[in-house]
Amino acid sequence: MEKLQNIRIAVDAIVFGYKSNGLYVLLIEQQFGSSEKYWALPGGLVKDDESLNDAVIRELHEETNVQLTFMEQLYTFGDDIHRDSRNRVISVAYYALVDASSLEIKASTDAERVQWFKIDEIPPLAFDHNLILKKGTERLKAKLTYEPIGFDLLPEEFLFSDLENLYCTILEKEIERRNFRKKILSFGIVEETENYSPIKTGRPAKLFRFNKLKYKELIEEGIHFEIKFA
């Protein structure tokens, strides 16, 4: 007769948002026991009849109110047996992107407070969530260079300088503005709209849009999206 496992399984999500001054992460404040409060990644236990994916979506909906533009499994954290001091919990971590420019977040009953934190100003988090976040940030950086997910952090229509700044700030690298533009345009996945930015400084700038369909077509044909820097 097989002895039943005593391991719990949870999901946690890193929600990334970009604003012009940096990369942000959504954290919630949770109460532990009677007094201790900790900031933590949104997440919770998986239900018996629910897919991992659904579990993440449910937890995010319960605790925040974000409209995801991208989500992907990150890693499963189960090597540290005591990552949760109360029970053995294995966490399947996800990371997601949102357009933070058009976003309201809510604080529901589950989580007392929900707040954006700048990626380089993260407080000590519950469990091993700092570790999860580190891994997530590395993955985001890596992915940004070989898949066009930067657009998922921006509004539908955006300035080239926004895109450029996004790459600069997330990858922490300098970029040559003119070569960057040439490269992105050469892929043929970004098209200009007839709209102009309302910003009133310098030469008026066209707004651009990412053509996801076109990108998928080109992938079929075998193009290789890559943004490298010195």
Strand-pairing partners, residue 95, are 14, 72
Q: Which is nearer to DNA, 38 or 229 (CB)?
A: 229
- Which of the listed partners (its own copies, DNA, none) does 6 bind, with a CB threshold of 5 to 8 Å by partner kind? its own copies
Q: How far apart are CA 133 and CA 122, in angstroms?
A: 9
Q: Which is nearer to DNA, 202 or 222 (CB)?
A: 202
What residues make contact with its own copies under the rule CB under 8 A? 5-9, 45-53, 73, 75-76, 78-81, 88, 90, 92, 224, 228
Q: Which is nearer to DNA, 65 or 161 (CB)?
A: 161
- Which of the listed partners (its own copies, DNA, none) does 145 bind, with a CB threshold of 5 to 8 Å by partner kind? none
CA–chain centroid gap for 27, Å, is 12
Residues 138-167 that bind DNA (CB under 7 A): 159-161
Q: How far is the CB of 176 from DNA (least distance, A)?
A: 5
Task: List the one residue out of 152, 154, 117 whose CA is nearest residue 42.
Answer: 117
Q: Does 21 bind DNA (CB under 7 A)?
A: no
- Scanning 11-19, 61-69, 79-87, 172-180 for contacts with DNA by CB under 7 A, the matching segment is 172-180
Chain length of the chain: 230
**Torsion of the alpha carbons at 225, 154, 204 and 22, rounded to the nearest 10:** -100
**Contacts with 103 (C-beta within 8 Å, 6 or more apart), sequence order:** 17, 66, 67
Total of chain residues touching DNA, rule CB under 7 A: 21
- Which of the listed partners (its own copies, DNA, none) does 161 bind, with a CB threshold of 5 to 8 Å by partner kind? DNA
Q: Does 51 bind DNA (CB under 7 A)?
A: no
**Torsion of the alpha carbons at 163, 166, 189 and 65, rounded to the nearest 10:** -110
Strand positions, DSSP E, the chain: 8-19, 22-32, 36-40, 43-45, 68-77, 89-98, 113-118, 157-158, 190-196, 206-210
- Which of the listed partners (its own copies, DNA, none) does 73 bind, with a CB threshold of 5 to 8 Å by partner kind? its own copies
